[in-house]
Structure formats: structure tokens, C-alpha cells
Copies of this chain bind each other. A is one copy, B any other.
Amino acid sequence: MSATIRIELNEKLFLRDPEQTELGRTIVKESIRLIDELGFEHFTFKKLAQHITSTEASVYRYFENKHKLLLYLVSWYWNWLDYRISYHTHHVTDASEKLRTFIRILVGSHGSEPLEANVDVLALARIVVLEASKAYLTKEVDTDNKAGLFQDYKNLCHKIALVVLEIDPAYPFPHALVSTLFEAARKHLFFAQHLPSLTEVRLENAGANTLKGFLNHLAFSSLTKEASSVGASL
């Protein structure tokens, strides 16, 4: 494992590859800090430009608009997660163990592998929780999808879905289950912090009522033979 991970992203996510220049890397790095601080709605290219003592026009040379920048950041995160999952499961043979590992990484137990130097991954993870849904919940979703801007998320989802099928080849909703786990992971992290009456998940709790516990329960309940027959009878 090298110190910094090379993450290749769809070229349609940017106008000029931000990884290739100092300014580009600064834009990415500081936009993460600023979006995390202000929230996506209050974040503007003008504020970013002032923050990095550059100009609005320069930022626009890298990203078409702030929505594309968000898509870039979120894609980067899914790639990074993919990398971490591969890193932690490539030696695991048991499919159930693989899924368990996936969930463990998904809920954000960071620290056991080399962190990306240039990017504040914890801030990016917070952005993903609060903003990632907005990347696709738009009227432009079909256009963006045709341009392949969600490919990384879909790839990752498919990869885990294959593990699910390995556990239970008869399970009829592998992709649906995995995307639900992704969405639920983010939502319950958010609920635990801001709307705790919507979830039993507690972040400070290392024992019971962990997000990991809930997601494991949700996933493996669905994948036992008994459970499958429950669904089929409805």
C-alpha cells in the first residue's frame, strides 16, 4: 500500500482534472473543509475562492458548478470506500465474513489503514452523510446518470450485491438490500446526531444499539433461509 491512493474518477465530473495541479488539489481539499463547515446550500464558489485566495473564475475552470463538485467529492468517497473494502476483504474467503467486514467499514471505523494525506476524510465522510443524497435527488438525475456520474456508487453496490448472492443465492433483492444498507448507514448516523427519536442507534454506545449492530441485524435477518421464506409467503 502506498502512502497516497491514486483515485481515478470519471472525466465528466470535472472540466480540468484537479489532481493534476496545485490549485486543483487546493480546491478539492478546501471545498471539503468549507462544505463541511457551511453545508452545501450555503457553500459558494465565491466563498471558496476567497478562502483559498484565488478567484471564482479559476474555480469554474475546474468544475462546471458546485453540483458537479459535490458529485466529484462523493464519487471520490465511494472509490475510497471501495479501496478500503478491497483492502480489508481480499484475504477473506467466507462471504458472510466479507459482508460483515463491509458493514464494519461502511459505518466508519477508520484508522486501520493509511489515510489519504491531501484530503480530510473525516470531513468528507460527514459531507457524504449530510449531502450525498442531494447528488442524485435532482431533476437532472437521468442526464447525470447517462453521463456515468453515479458509476462508482453503482459499481460498489454491485460488488457487495455479489457477496450477498454468495451468502444466499436465492435472495431476490441483493442490490436493493445493499443500497438500503448504504442509505441506512448514512441516515442513521444523521438521525443519531440530529433526530434521535427516529432511531435506536446511538453513536457514543460501544456495546448495544450500535449502527453496526442494526445493519448486521437487518442484513443477516434477510439472508437466512427462514427469513427468505417469510418474505416469499407475502
Binding site for B on A (CB under 8 A): 38-39, 41-42, 100, 130-131, 133-134, 136-139, 141-142, 145, 150, 153-154, 157-158, 172-177, 179-180, 183-184, 187-188, 190-191, 194-195, 197-201, 208-209, 212-214, 216-218, 220-222, 224, 226-228, 230-232, 234
A184-B183, A222-B221 known; A174 vs B200 contact (CB < 8 Å): yes
A221 lies within 8 A of B213 (CB): no
Instruction: Report the copy number of this chain in the oligomer.
Output: 2
Docked complex Cα distance between A230 and B213 (Å):
11
Partner of A226, one of B137, B199, B224: B224
- 8 of the cross-chain contacts (CB-CB < 8 Å) are A141-B194, A180-B184, A180-B188, A213-B231, A216-B231, A218-B218, A221-B222, A221-B228
Docked complex Cα distance between A153 and B158 (Å):
32
A230 lies within 8 A of B224 (CB): yes
B197 lies within 8 A of A154 (CB): yes
B234 lies within 8 A of A100 (CB): yes
Beyond A142-B194, A172-B213, 5 additional contacts (C-beta under 8 Å) are A134-B134, A136-B194, A141-B195, A153-B198, A175-B198
Docked complex Cα distance between A194 and B137 (Å):
10
Residues of B contacting A150 in the complex (Cβ-Cβ under 8 angstroms)? 195
A139-B42, A231-B216 known; A176 vs B154 contact (CB < 8 Å): no
Residues of B contacting A134 in the complex (Cβ-Cβ under 8 angstroms)? 133-134, 137
Docked complex Cα distance between A195 and B153 (Å):
11
Residues of B contacting A133 in the complex (Cβ-Cβ under 8 angstroms)? 133-134, 137
Q: Give the residue name and chain of the B residue nearest to A198 (CB).
A: B179
Residues of B contacting A230 in the complex (Cβ-Cβ under 8 angstroms)? 217, 220-221, 224
Residues of B contacting A209 in the complex (Cβ-Cβ under 8 angstroms)? 172-173
Q: Give the residue name and chain of the B residue nearest to A212 (CB).
A: B234
In the A-B complex, list the 7 residue pairs whose CB atoms are closest, starting with the nearest.
Answer: A217-B231, A221-B227, A39-B139, A221-B221, A176-B199, A179-B198, A216-B234
